[in-house]
């Protein structure tokens, strides 16, 4: 019996039908296309992932399936590692080509892709991968990257009219499910941002129609940023929206809007988003060690009590604790607070970034490996190229949460105190403790470190390390590899 020929589109972090080059290329072929999502146990057991991420993925897949109803198809959602799935599917079909979007992922996904590439060669399968949001695989330096990125962002979005004949039918897929472990798309109720393109488009619309006015004003404010920032990052991280489509909308918006500065700032951050992923694509070892090898010898002894207090929001510094509790509860934290909590871990507590890297990734709904580890490295001071920024959580609270609204929202044990005391509870006087029925050190923990002392110690150690011969040569290598300073103006 002659097996039916099909193409397969393997969705990973590109959970959309629009401006998806892998999907578009598959649909241009003569074979009907099977849309596939693999829930891979090995990937999802990695310590960077959480049920909040899986829920977002499920909601994204359900949203795609809703779009596909008119085409009498859906995404085949299966729990399986990659090779066992393809062992079975090849017995049923003649696979023309497998299409997917390149993923600049963790070591676990990188190894999976390497092994699948070998599998394809052994089984004479053609695997076609496509560029992801302007990130270029195999790039050696940034001589032309900026120019290429803008060219990509200004190029036409891909997509052509779809029809029923282009897909493997729903009925055929239902029969296939008997051969695999079904990946259920049911989700429990939750308070995080919901996944899917429909939700992403709603957030995008509200940003450009209402909230962008406050973008520059609120971006550093831990509470107001929840309104003033775009909140599109989860939809980029999981591929519900493409950077290109949002960049082009922002560009068109700028031409007719009075908020041109805000639009420019937002568009600049879209490029920085791709910049950090490109950096990780070129040096994925950033997941495990300092990008500047001159810092590999820096001693940061593990203090489990420090790390535990940081994770649980019990450091005694209200803005740090509010930020940690906030991201655990909501999956969101603005950029400045993300930088601050990493700085607090790596500078004031002087713990290696890997002690909190995976844990923090589990909290961020928008976890994207390249951005995450690019920022971890920069905030830890491990690039040797950036200024070492040792954040002062008290100063940041006074400047960006002046009325302690954010602090008291997420650290309710401080909610009965005036703003000044909620920001610095260690300044409370005995009479005030009685007045507010609050005992410092009992109702809220004492500070685990003195940031005036730890700032000096961290600064001396980091800047001292920057002076060693290897760190200096690594700085030059990093600038040569990841910037355009000598080659492009």
Structure confidence by residue, pLDDT tens digits, 210-223: 999 999 999 999 99
Question: pLDDT for 46-64, tens place per residue?
Answer: 999 999 999 999 999 999 9
Q: Is the pLDDT of residue 93 over 90?
A: yes
Nearest to 116, CA basis, from 45, 26, 10, 4: 10
| Domains, the chain | 4-130 (3.40.50.620), 198-282 (1.25.40.80), 287-482 (1.10.579.10)
Half-sphere exposure of 419 (CA within 13 A, CB side): 10
| Residues 258, 261: Cα–Cα separation, whole Å | 8
Question: Average pLDDT of the chain?
Answer: 96
Question: pLDDT for 340-397, tens place per residue?
Answer: 999 999 999 999 999 999 999 999 999 999 999 999 999 999 999 988 999 999 999 9
- Take residue 199 and report the two structure tokens written for it: 């939700």
| Residues 324, 342: Cα–Cα separation, whole Å | 10
Q: How many helices (H) and strands (E) does the chain have?
A: 24, 5
**DSSP H or E segment with residue 8:** strand 4-11
Cα–Cα distances (Å) from 44 to 90, 258, 354, in that order, read 25, 44, 19
Predicted pLDDT of residue 29? 92
Nearest to 57, CA basis, from 172, 181, 199, 173: 199
- Take residue 24 and report the two structure tokens written for it: 């578009």
Per DSSP, what are the bridge partners of residue 94? Answer: 5
Predicted pLDDT of residue 487? 37
Predicted pLDDT of residue 485? 57
- Take residue 218 and report the two structure tokens written for it: 């609120």
| Residues 416, 397: Cα–Cα separation, whole Å | 17
Predicted pLDDT of residue 483? 87
Q: Is the pLDDT of residue 486 over 60?
A: no
Question: pTM of the predicted model, to two decimals?
Answer: 0.96
Q: Is the pLDDT of residue 488 over 80?
A: no
Predicted pLDDT of residue 74? 98
Question: pLDDT for 234-277, tens place per residue?
Answer: 999 999 999 999 999 999 999 999 999 999 999 999 999 999 99
Strand order in the sheet with 126-130: 76-79, 33-39, 4-11, 93-101, 126-130
Question: pLDDT for 279-338, tens place per residue?
Answer: 999 999 999 999 999 999 999 999 999 999 999 999 999 999 999 999 999 999 999 999
- Fill in the DSSP letter of residue 193: P
In terms of DSSP H, where are the helices of 439-468? Answer: 451-466
Instruction: Work out the average pLDDT over 158-168.
Output: 93
Predicted pLDDT of residue 484? 73
| Residues 138, 305: Cα–Cα separation, whole Å | 41
* pLDDT band with cut points at 50, 70 and 90 for residue 160: confident
Distance of CA 174 to the CA centre of its chain: 33
Predicted pLDDT of residue 45? 98
């Amino acid at each position: 019996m002659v097996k039916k020929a099909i193409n397969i589109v393997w969705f990973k972090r590109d959970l959309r039908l629009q401006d998806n080059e892998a999907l578009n290329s598959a649909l241009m072929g003569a074979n009907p296309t099977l849309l596939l999502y693999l829930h891979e146990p090995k990937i999802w057991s990695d310590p960077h992932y959480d049920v909040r991420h899986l829920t977002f993925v499920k909601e994204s897949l359900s949203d795609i399936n809703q779009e596909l109803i008119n085409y009498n198809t859906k995404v085949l959602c299966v729990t399986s590692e990659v090779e066992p799935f393809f062992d079975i599917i090849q017995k049923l079909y003649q696979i023309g080509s497998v299409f997917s979007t390149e993923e600049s992922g963790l070591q676990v996904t990188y190894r999976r892709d390497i092994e699948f590439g070998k599998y394809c060669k052994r089984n004479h399968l053609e695997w076609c991968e496509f560029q992801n949001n302007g990130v270029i695989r195999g790039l050696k330096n940034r001589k032309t990257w900026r120019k290429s990125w803008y060219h990509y962002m200004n190029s036409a979005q891909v997509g052509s009219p779809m029809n029923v004949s282009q897909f493997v039918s729903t009925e055929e897929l239902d029969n296939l499910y008997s051969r695999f472990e079904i990946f259920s798309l049911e989700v429990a109720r939750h308070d995080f941002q919901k996944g899917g393109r429909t939700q992403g488009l709603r957030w995008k619309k509200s940003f450009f129609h209402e909230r962008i006015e406050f973008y520059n004003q609120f971006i550093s404010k831990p509470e107001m940023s929840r309104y003033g920032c775009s909140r599109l990052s989860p939809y980029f991280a999981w591929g519900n929206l493409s950077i290109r489509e949002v960049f082009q909308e922002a560009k068109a918006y700028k031409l007719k809007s009075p908020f041109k500065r805000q639009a420019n700032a937002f568009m600049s951050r879209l490029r920085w988003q791709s910049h950090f992923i490109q950096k990780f694509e070129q040096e994925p070892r950033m997941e495990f060690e300092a990008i500047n090898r001159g810092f590999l010898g820096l001693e940061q002894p593990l203090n489990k009590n420090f790390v535990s207090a940081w994770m649980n929001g019990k450091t005694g510094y209200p803005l740090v604790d509010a930020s940690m509790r906030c991201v655990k509860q909501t999956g969101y934290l603005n950029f400045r607070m993300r930088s601050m909590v990493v700085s607090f871990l790596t500078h004031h507590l002087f713990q290696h970034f890997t002690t909190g890297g995976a844990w923090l990734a589990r909290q961020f709904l928008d976890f994207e490996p390249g951005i995450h580890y690019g920022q971890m490295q920069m905030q830890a001071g491990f690039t040797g190229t950036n200024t070492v920024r040792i954040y002062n959580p008290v100063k940041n609270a006074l400047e960006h949460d002046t009325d302690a609204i954010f602090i008291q929202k997420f650290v309710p044990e401080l909610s009965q105190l005036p703003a000044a005391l909620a920001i610095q509870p260690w300044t409370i006087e005995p009479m005030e403790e009685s007045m507010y029925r609050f005992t410092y050190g009992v109702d809220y923990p004492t500070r685990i470190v003195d940031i005036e002392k730890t700032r000096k110690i961290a600064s001396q150690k980091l800047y001292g390390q920057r002076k060693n011969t290897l760190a200096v040569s690594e700085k030059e290598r990093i600038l040569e590899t990841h910037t355009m300073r000598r080659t492009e103006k």
